[in-house]
Structure 1
């Protein structure tokens, strides 16, 4: 949604995006149809959404600024069927019908192609990327097992950061409810015709909605890049620091009494907190070998230290690191029928984790893949590809594997798709794709005593879609089916592991199936008014075993989003949106024992004012102060719930130079 922003939205994007002059020139004429914007999420090389047999949504800087959002979580909420779970310490994003505990392992999140997903089950800290550093966000709905392998089951979110070619920058400050204050700055300089230097930094502090939930967050990033006619090179380093108090879970009665209260003092840990510090380094090289062939390679490293005191008063000190090397070759070969695109490469990774509990793991993955998009005619092409992956775990756990255990597993994926584009603004596609994911260290170490190593989760995805751009309208419709086998889940009724501290265990579950339909419509009513509607339907249930026919927990059957953008006059724009999440069973209630949680509608509005290089924005989230459950977990000991944030007001001002 948001592919054709109103006039002021275009100006906002022009002011706050490094590549804005070109974007503004292309988008100023509201009667012109934007069709072939370039993306990089599919094929791991540049392409255009309508040339790809997949459901892809691009959220550019103009659309982000149009909504006045202040965090990436706010930007993604409700987009492309994304359902969110937030335990008041960071959100996880589910696509294509996964529960909150599975979302972080079945939705792959990338930043410029680098994995943010962790070696353990901890959700990636997506808000570590301030919005002032983001050029666009690309969302692939559906599995991408061939292109990305492990964890690309429900979808892929690729966050593209700015890589400026000129000089300039911006400064932004904001303040709002719950004593929230934030500052952001970014800028670039041209050392000479080929070398550029880019730097960005941010700082945020706030008490947040609930008691004992304050945070202090900061990040810095620096990038040096080189570009000439044949090659590109960059080196980048970043640091992220987040200290957050933990408010703990509540009962439904406590939420009804006071949703802002903390449970930390009730369980004897009034000082519970989490402190995460991540250092990352990244370098990449690309060379055009000939007119048709190019070589690319990325080397990424990240190191994280997490300290804190959990809700039960136990201290923690956990570390994890990930090293990746991803060389690939890309070919774009002209034929009589069109361009033949080929990408092939190898993904190598080594992750290490050490937990204060004494658990540790070294995980190494090696995989190779190839994908080709082959034109049959000027309007018809097909995509075919495959991937093979091997993983080796060297795991130690004081209870389950005190002497250590070596686990070696492998998986594969194939895909086949057909794309039909009869005109420049019309296309249909069908696609079949296999996917897989390997168990994380936390999951492998908390299994029933009879299980030594969970099997890889495997699945098959079938999808068909239709895109049509006409007379100021953009319509996308898709339908899919996702079948999974040996799905890796936590089962509260399973045999408790040896030395386990709570009932249940991680298991390979019975087969499950998800059907879904999505509809996305944007309409440029006039030059000043734009409307958009998105609706998503998911039928997710077990298809075998004791829970055969039961609904998968934490998956809302109905969800959607609607928005309107209105240019009041030349410099002032009003934006309003509603994000709906339907009823769903609490996380972990696979037997559908408890009543469903209530549905809810969040209404957000923003008023944006821009003049020359200045921008001011007033945004109100949850305008009607809707009370809802943002996360919840089923337990035989008693369910735990987390309340969603109430009404929040944020005033932002920025200047671009």
Structure 2
């Protein structure tokens, strides 16, 4: 019978999926990392995973991101972790940024400090312009923008999330533009029996939040879900007040032959902008602002229409049409307005062909995207439109009952128009994927994968280039990964080694001869860069009540040719780590804590490595949860030790610019499930 399709990511995490992640920085681990980071090991990515209970010995889990339809993880030659709604619930995290910040291989940059707009995800050593090198999706809908603005992570209400699938590494063949460092796909809840909840929260820095949701599925196949949230906060910095409203409505119908859904979302995001501070200004007062009048207000409307049709046995036609429109206005020393429009349409066919060794899985489709970005300021304007027309196919063939071969290809046609001076750029790229997945036994598997990816320069980047350059070249990458997983007793382990080579990486060089004159800065194409790294994960179900998870990520990211050859790429910490401990005292009380370590790194724009490395730091969070019948309450402490660090660092002193992160914050939440 054909599996019902949806949108998502790849899954190698255990079915029990206890808490989050940990890593311990020590000499033995570092020696191990260095030993495996040879050129041969650097071309590979290994994943090894272990089961959390004797009862769960089958490695097969249903995931979406590996094929863009629901399939078993054992067929996918990739490393994917799944974060469940239960893990999010136990963490007590108030927003998606804090949830993701506790995951292996992820760095969060926050240039505003409210852990919403301005926060971006970095993976695989992509620091500069990381918002355009990690693809973020909700049920397969892209949140990435045709500008330097990062995906709106705050637009995803935590209570709407069923799970988060995190694909480590390149997925350009299956997902196209911007899927270079990884893919984050949030899978939202589906309507079930009549259910509803109400929740209220309050905390430090004037934090107040209200949210609620109601959903139901009827015997006829009709279903609906309606959710809303309202958040207000003064936040840590002066002139950093925020007000956020998010309303989501979804209606669907499903029977044995077809399904269809319609979804609408409206977001109002009003935000004061505290601006950056130099190192000296931070020493004087981390909270101060020198931009007391700056603000940015943004309204977003999203509409989605999609569904699936079972064509015949084991074959289905799927597709979604998505429309997103954002209007912004504000003041940054002078008034500005902005408008972003993104339309996508992605019809695809999935199917199976039976063989003696198992089914051949086929996914083929078209990704169409039409986007535009219009910004007007006192210094001039930007009006750029972009069109992408992609065709792709992926085939997973069983060579034996336990060995599967994955082949894939994508062709992308791209056109960018500068509607102000009528300049036009066209490009064409074809990328390929090949991978092997070997099911060693019911507890262990290995995979080997080579994937190519690409990124077209966006409107912001092409609008600020060297005067002799009209449009930046496309960024192209090749990734090698080798993976394996195994399970025994109460332990889950994972190890990932990878090598990623990038040509024409798009980056900002503050010393380049830019539009404002020599040495004023511009976006450029780097000659070549390389990233060699490892991601290690272990989960120990110590007792029925106690779970401990440890993560460690190491990446050696450097520019391998050109003017900055041999230099470390900025904003990429070589070492990051996480420790997560979750303990269930009884049916009512639970305790959760996570520690996040970020190693030294160079500030944004410092490809020349002229400045000193930014010091490493560790942030500790904790949550106590109480459940009683249908009531629940959380007391969450973020950065409980009051660590003073910056969410983002740029430039070289005395011309550095930094955005201080919040010190200790507390939120108390109460809720009721009807």
Fold shared per TM-score above 0.5: yes
Q: Displacement, 1:260?
A: 1.8
| Within-5 A mapping of 1:196-211 | 196-211=223-238
Q: Which digits, 9 at most, give the CA deviation of each residue in 1:27-85, with x for residues without a partner?
A: 99885457433221121111233331001000010111121111000110041311111
Q: CA deviation at 1:501?
A: 11
Structure 1 partner of 2:285: 258
- Taking a change above 3 Å as real, the CA distance of residues 436 and 28 of structure 1, as seen in their structure-2 partners, is closer
SS at match of 2:354: strand
Instruction: Report the equivalent of 1:237.
Output: 264
Please state how far the C-alpha of 1:252 moved relative to its aligned partner.
Answer: 1.4
Matched, 1:395 2:418: yes
- Looking at structure 1, the residues matched to 190 and 655 of structure 2 have their Cα atoms a distance apart, in angstroms, of 49
CA 1:628–1:246 in 2, change beyond 3 Å: closer, same or farther?
Answer: same
Q: Which residue of 2 aligns with 1:599?
A: 616
Distance verdict in 2 for CA 1:202–1:552, change over 3 Å: same
Q: Which residue of 1 aligns with 2:182?
A: 155
Q: CA shift at 1:425, angstroms? A: 2.2
Aligned to 1:278: 300
Contact persistence 1:6–1:528 (CA under 8 A) = no
For 2:161, which of 134, 141, 154 is the aligned residue? 134
C-alpha distance 28-494 of structure 1, shift in aligned 2 (>3 A): closer
Name structure 2 gaps, 5 residues minimum. 1-12, 20-50
Asked whether 1:372 is paired with 2:395, we answer yes
2:112 aligned with 1:112, yes or no? Answer: no
**What is the CA–CA distance in structure 2 between the aligned matches of 1:430 and 1:389, rounded to whole Å?**
25
Q: Hey, what's the Cα distance between the residues in 2 that align with 1:190 and 1:300?
A: 24
1:359 deviation in Å?
1.4
In structure 1, the partner of 2:119 is 91
- Aligned residue among 296, 303, 317 for 1:295: 317
Indicate if the aligned counterparts of 2:508 and 2:522 stay in contact, CA closer than 8 A.
Answer: yes
2:15–2:61: 8 Å Cα contact kept in structure 1?
no
Q: How does 1:3-14 map to 2 (within 5 A)?
A: 4=16
1:43 matches 2:70: no
Structure 2 residue aligned with 1:590, among 599, 604, 607?
Answer: 607
1:131-530 map, 5 Å:
131-190=158-217, 192-264=219-291, 270-310=292-332, 313-356=333-376, 357-397=380-420, 403-497=421-515, 503-530=520-547
> Matches of 1:168 and 1:160 in 2, distance apart?
18
After TM superposition, the score normalised by the length of structure 1 is 0.92
Q: Using the alignment, how far apart are the partners of 1:447 and 1:295 within structure 2? A: 43
Rounded Cα–Cα distance in structure 2 between residues aligned with 1:645 and 1:412: 44
Per-residue deviation at 1:6? 5.8
The Cα of 1:190 is off from its aligned counterpart by 3.5
Is the 1:620–1:648 contact (alpha carbons within 8 Å) kept by the matching residues of 2?
Answer: yes
Deviates more, 1:213-222 or 1:283-292: 283-292
Aligned 8 A contact 2:352 2:361 in 1 = yes
Structure 1 residue 91: Cα displacement:
0.6
Root-mean-square deviation over aligned CA pairs: 1.8
For residues 604-636 of structure 1, the C-alpha deviation after alignment (integer angstroms, 9 at most, x for no partner) is 111111122222111101010000111011168
Q: Answer yes or no: is the 8 Å Cα contact 1:530–1:566 preserved in 2.
A: yes
Aligned residue for 2:173, secondary structure, equals helix
> Take 1:600 and 1:93, find their aligned partners in 2: how far apart are those partners?
18
The 3-state SS of whatever aligns with 2:170 is coil
CA drift of 1:194 comes to 1.2
Unaligned runs of 5+ in 1: 8-26, 265-269, 398-402
Does 209-218 or 181-190 show the bigger shift? 181-190
Distance 1:502 1:261 in 2: 29
Tell me, what secondary structure is at the counterpart of 1:80?
coil
Residue of structure 1 in register with 2:33 after alignment:
none
Give distance in 2, aligned partners of 1:561 and 1:6: 14
Q: 1:438-488: CA deviations, max 9, x gaps?
A: 000111121112112111110100011121222121111110000000111
Query: Is contact 1:3–1:522 with CA below 8 Å preserved after alignment?
Result: no
Structure 1 residues 95, 28: closer, same or farther in 2, change over 3 A?
closer
Q: Give the Cα separation in 1 of the matches to 2:665 and 2:492.
A: 32
| SS of equivalent to 1:65 | helix
Q: Which digits, 9 at most, give the CA deviation of each residue in 1:108-149, with x for residues without a partner?
A: 001110110001111111111110111111100101111111
* Stretch moving more, 212-221 or 44-53: 44-53
Equivalent of 1:618 in 635, 651, 669? 635
| Separation in structure 1 between the aligned mates of residue 627 and residue 405 of structure 2, nearest angstrom | 45
1: distance between equivalents of 2:52 and 2:76? 26
Q: How many residues align?
A: 624
TM-superposed CA distance for 1:508, in Å, is: 1.1
Bigger RCO of structures 1 and 2 (CA < 8 A, at least 6 apart): 2
Q: Secondary structure at the match of 2:159?
A: helix
CA distance in 1: counterparts of 2:66 and 2:483, whole angstroms: 16
Q: Distance in 2 between matches of 1:391 and 1:119?
A: 13
Q: Distance in 2 between matches of 1:117 and 1:500?
A: 31
Residues 1:474 and 1:553: Cα distance change in structure 2 (over 3 Å): same
Match of 1:22 in 2: none
